[in-house]
Structure 1
């Protein structure tokens, strides 16, 4: 496992990373500590197993290396990007690498909690495509969608699948609030199993909030009392507008959820 200050990774021409085969996790660091390290480790292990990538790192070693990285860079607030590279292999799509590498990159990060605007992505996703449930290094679709949104003067884009069910934004899961209930797209819609998404569902249920994972249409978002995106780095960000439809950014349930997260044991 390697610690890097910034993007200094070097690859040979036959490295599988040039075919987009690789995984990553982005952890938030608060008060010199990594947030939700076990959940990130578990998700990375599961994805690596699916792709057949070796990740022979116990949770104890994972946590030790994260803390070493934080200490090495004197990181009080920010993040760590953990990149699992697939390594070198013979030419061919089905070829497999025998050696993988895990690199930790520390970075500074200041949260932007300002409400954001979204628009619908002008193409649809296949919910059965397994890549959408992996934290893959291949972000080309998200890059194209984000640039499309910004060219239209909007902050981010929301994907829909072939059944016209909402899935996620380019970098975050999303929720809507309706009648004080918390609703989010089900994983089978083609959604990344986000760490903060899962925490919000668990915390909400513990606090007696009705939480549902289901199929959400565009009409559901337009009729929502409020909506927000979430990921571990950004936290909760209210959605102020979707496809030019204005939404409430001051819903009391969002305030409660932020309070629950502040008390959550990372």
Structure 2
């Protein structure tokens, strides 16, 4: 895998030391991040990802990087990858914002923080095999809905999934309601409509999730965010039985119908199959769909 790294205004070697040993991004996971697919040199939905990075940073109390400064880093990484000693096409970018040096406690220091942009040619996952996680997501957490670098919970659950021969784990919240995957949102096709857990479930407000809801509805699909408590975790039993269907969504997977759940091969729901196709068509026509309030 090829990689290009930009930190605080400059391209650096991929193995260069860029954080101090006391940086809170390292010691306590005090940071936020975004991951984007890159298609034909353009990070998909960059405007929305920058807006969500700012939202997450504000929720965490971290100084927000200027949007144009972030765009400069994105352009620098793309150009460096194309003109380096070993040119390559970037397929994935990650933005990371950490709070900077701090004390050996949860209290934050004075900074300054760091903005890191990474570009790679890592391939996107071609299929999704999921299992149900034995842990829950706390929908009342102080960072519920924030894309934080405090990702240990997801690492443990992803490792659990890998041990079961899967690459994603589906999580309930503390009420037993369907919530999300470790790195995805989830959609359920049931009773001739498509539902996805509401943000009140504690799930991340995924960029792809939001666009799938917008574009699916625009194309005439029966799709909506479920009411609170409407999607119980038990709906996954119907998915296993074939009377309902499931798909996951993320920036790199887009809308991807589940192949297996807990080792059981699944069928493809007709509505979710159409949603996946519709998403790809809309994304091809509009690689940077601006949020409505910014239009």
Relative to the length of structure 2, the TM-score reads 0.82
Structure 1 residue 61 displacement after superposition: 3.3
Matches within 5 A, 1:91-240: 91-114=104-127, 116-214=128-226, 215=229, 216-224=231-239, 225-240=244-259
Matching of residue 6 in structure 1 with residue 21 in structure 2: no
Per-residue CA deviation, residues 5-45 of structure 1 (Å, 9 max, x unaligned), is 53544322321121110111111111011111110110011
Q: Give yes or no for the alignment of 1:76 onto 2:95.
A: no
The match for 1:62 is: 70
The answer to whether the 8 A contact 2:59-2:146 is kept is: no
Distance 1:5 1:32 in 2: 21
* Cα separation, partners in 2 of 1:92 and 1:147, compared to 1, 3 Å: closer
Structure 2 portions without partners, runs of 5+: 1-7, 83-87, 288-295
Q: CA deviation at 1:246?
A: 4.1
Distance 1:245 1:261 in 2: 27
Deviations 1:153-181 (A, max 9, x none): 33321111111011111111111112342
Instruction: Tell me the TM-score normalised to structure 1 length.
Output: 0.90
2-structure distance, mates of 1:100, 1:44: 14
Larger strand percent: 1
The 8 Å contact of residues 179 and 203 in structure 2, kept in 1 or not, is answered as yes
1:248 maps to: 267
Post-superposition offset of 1:256: 4.2
Offset from partner CA, 1:70-121 (integer Å, 9 cap, x none): 111115341111110110123431233331110111101222322x322221
